Amino acid sequence: MQASVIRTTPFEGQQPGTSGLRKKVASFQQPHYLENFVQAIFDTQTKLAGGSLVLGGDGRFYNREAIQVILRMAAANGVARVLVGKGGILSTPAASCIIRKYQTQGGIVLSASHNPGGPSEDFGIKFNIDAGGPAPASVTNAIYQRTQTIDQYRILDADAVDLDQIGESRLGELVVQVIDPVADYAELMASLFDFNAIQQLFSSGSFRMRFDAMHAVTGPYAVEILERRLGAEPGTVMHGVPLEDFGGGHPDPNLVHAHELVELTSGAQGFDFGAASDGDGDRNMVLGRDFFVTPSDSLAVLAANAQLTPGYKHGISGVARSMPTSQAADRVAEALGVDCFETPTGWKFFGNLLDAGRITLCGEESFGTGSDHVREKDGLWAVLFWLNLIAAKRQSVAEIVHDHWRRFGRNYYTRHDYEGIDSDAAEGLIDHLRILLPSLPGQQLGGTNGGFKVAFADDFAYTDPIDGSVAEQQGIRIGFEGGARIVLRLSGTGTQGATLRVYIEQYEADSARHHLPVQEALAPLILIARELAQIESRTGRAQPDVIT
């Protein structure tokens, strides 16, 4: 077997976004497109030569083809060992777990997360560093810079590796180790949560749940852990077989795309608990009967109750949330006397805080919750955490959250997404807000009677407390006296046009006012945001596409 050196020229736009390089499948299918990006990883991540690499993806269309290319390139670039998930499958949190457990020099995860899959849909690739987490900006910038000057890549001339047999084979000098994608991860979960208590919950007969894997990567993980190890009834996991096009669905666990689960948990006969995960298994949605737990509240509830689980019984060192995530967790941190950090959107910003032991739990409004057990957000972990709390507290999801609000107050919260809007219009909207920012503090918005007085307005910038790196222009924040906030930013994960996200939050201490419909409670602030940002005139959209 021989390595070939193939001449190539740079492609424009191989800049990783919030989480890796995400493009239409057709982009990745262009000759040399994937290869250029992968060679840029090998050229800049020099520890991989002679080292080991974890490789897997969410099973979407083009996953298997891309894995074969990457294996042959790894062989030609001197990687000693690649641990690849059977069938090319590895969830994002499982990849992180395996990188850490086997101390590899990093991992390549193939996923476009919650974006749809299929020949005309999305594909993605991201590099995770040896700590197990998403590459920080210094690494993704170096990879991107390399893609701009690349003129050749190395690839072994070899047949395809059998990805469906567990065991070792060789590709030239490279050892390819096909591993069980679930086993290490399941073992880690069993070490963190009280599996006996959860087993008893399921065997009691008075608690029933459904987990929607959305035909994405978590199916095999959820079947093994929930049904086989914890004894949940067969059929607990819905849409459990990973499909290349996710069954034509949109593997995004929110109230719109996981509506079947919402219906199953509705009404007197509804299931007690519902949960869903996304394409690559790092996101989670948690539902009780007739009850949606916002990801922001979920983080706060987990932080307040962590000591009820074996893995966190000694309490937490601190908590972090992304800037647009509600401030519910801040109140818990204050009560616990631990630090709470506000970071830009993107899991990579939690990495340094986790490595330094400054935080134990972290989360984002975008359905991501996690801890120091790996360096990615982790969908099934969050579901097991909730199951452990339900078993320990012997309360329903709604009771747990209502108790939490009574103790800490409620942060009413919603996110409005305007998807696929014109990119120039979206940039113009944000630029306009940037110009307005200095004039806002002190202004009373939404009418002088009962309006909201602006306490601060800025374009969020973050200085990492561990390495001093600075991230600027991370979203428009408008904070009001009393803690209400409006945040606006453009999504960094889309592949078509721009997506404007508008995040609205208002704190309510009075428990007599904790039961209002969310959109009603936030209506005045929603109106202020629409008018201030001139959303309709600039985007042509009168209503958001998705409300969560």
Positions annotated as catalytic residues are: 113
Q: Which stretch binds ligand G16 (CB under 6 A): 149-157, 395-403, 437-445, 489-497?
A: 489-497
Among 93, 136, 220, 368, binds ligand G16 (CB under 6 A): 368
The whole-angstrom separation of Cα 353 and Cα 465 is: 8
Q: Which stretch binds ligand G16 (CB under 6 A): 25-33, 218-226, 236-244, 485-493?
A: 485-493
Q: Binding of ligand G16 at residue 254 (CB under 6 A)?
A: no
What SS3 state is found at 489?
Answer: strand
CB of 335 to ligand G16, least distance (A): 25
How far, in Å, are 279, 322, 504 from residue 434 at the CA level?
34, 20, 18
Tokens linked to 398: 């709604």
Beta bridge partners of 451: none
List Cβ neighbours of 119 (8 Å cut-off, separation of 6 or more): 25, 26, 61
Give how far the C-alpha of residue 364 lies from the chain's centroid of Cα atoms, to the nearest Å.
8
CB 109 within 8 A of CB 217: no
The whole-angstrom separation of Cα 78 and Cα 73 is: 9
Q: Binding of ligand G16 at residue 493 (CB under 6 A)?
A: yes
Q: Binding of ligand G16 at residue 415 (CB under 6 A)?
A: no
Q: Binding of ligand G16 at residue 346 (CB under 6 A)?
A: yes
Pick from 433, 410, 372: which is nearest to 522 by CA?
410
Q: Please give the residues from 309 up to 338 whose contact with ligand G16 meets the rule CB under 6 A.
A: 322
CB 371 within 8 A of CB 312: yes
Q: Binding of ligand G16 at residue 140 (CB under 6 A)?
A: no
Among 492, 527, 545, 547, binds ligand G16 (CB under 6 A): 492
Binding mask 9-48 for ligand G16 (x = CB under 6 A): ---------xx-----------------------------
Q: Among residues 187 and 422, whose Cβ is nearest to ligand G16?
A: 422
CB of 492 to ligand G16, least distance (A): 4
Q: Among residues 52 and 352, whose Cβ is nearest to ligand G16?
A: 352
Q: Which stretch binds ligand G16 (CB under 6 A): 60-68, 233-241, 427-435, 487-495?
A: 487-495
CB of 348 to ligand G16, least distance (A): 7
CB of 114 to ligand G16, least distance (A): 5
Q: Which stretch binds ligand G16 (CB under 6 A): 229-237, 259-267, 360-368, 420-428?
A: 360-368
3-state helix, strand, coil in the chain (%, to 5): 35, 25, 35
Q: Binding of ligand G16 at residue 491 (CB under 6 A)?
A: yes
CB of 199 to ligand G16, least distance (A): 30
What SS3 state is found at 9?
Answer: coil
The whole-angstrom separation of Cα 234 and Cα 226 is: 9
Q: Binding of ligand G16 at residue 370 (CB under 6 A)?
A: no
Cα Rg of the chain (Å, integer)? 23
Report the chain's terminal Cα–Cα distance, integer Å: 53
Q: Binding of ligand G16 at residue 372 (CB under 6 A)?
A: no
Q: Please give the residues from 499 up to 538 whose contact with ligand G16 meets the rule CB under 6 A.
A: 501
The whole-angstrom separation of Cα 162 and Cα 337 is: 53
Q: Binding of ligand G16 at residue 548 (CB under 6 A)?
A: no
Beta bridge partners of 507: 411
Q: Binding of ligand G16 at residue 371 (CB under 6 A)?
A: no
Q: Centre a 10 Å sphere on the Cβ of residue 114 and count the other Cβ atoms it contains.
A: 25
- Alpha helix (H) ranges present in 103-217? 137-149, 183-192, 195-203
Binding mask 426-455 for ligand G16 (x = CB under 6 A): ------------------------------
Q: Binding of ligand G16 at residue 114 (CB under 6 A)?
A: yes
Count of residues of this chain found to bind ligand G16 when the rule CB under 6 A is applied = 18
Q: Which stretch binds ligand G16 (CB under 6 A): 54-62, 230-238, 341-349, 388-396?
A: 341-349
Among 122, 212, 364, 378, binds ligand G16 (CB under 6 A): 364
> What is the number of residues in the chain?
548
Pick from 20, 98, 19, 92: which is nearest to 281 by CA?
92
Q: Among residues 17 and 451, whose Cβ is nearest to ligand G16?
A: 17
Beta bridge partners of 157: 2
CB 457 within 8 A of CB 441: yes
Residues at the contact surface with ligand G16, assessed by CB under 6 A? 18-19, 113-114, 278, 282-283, 322, 345-347, 364, 366, 368, 491-493, 501
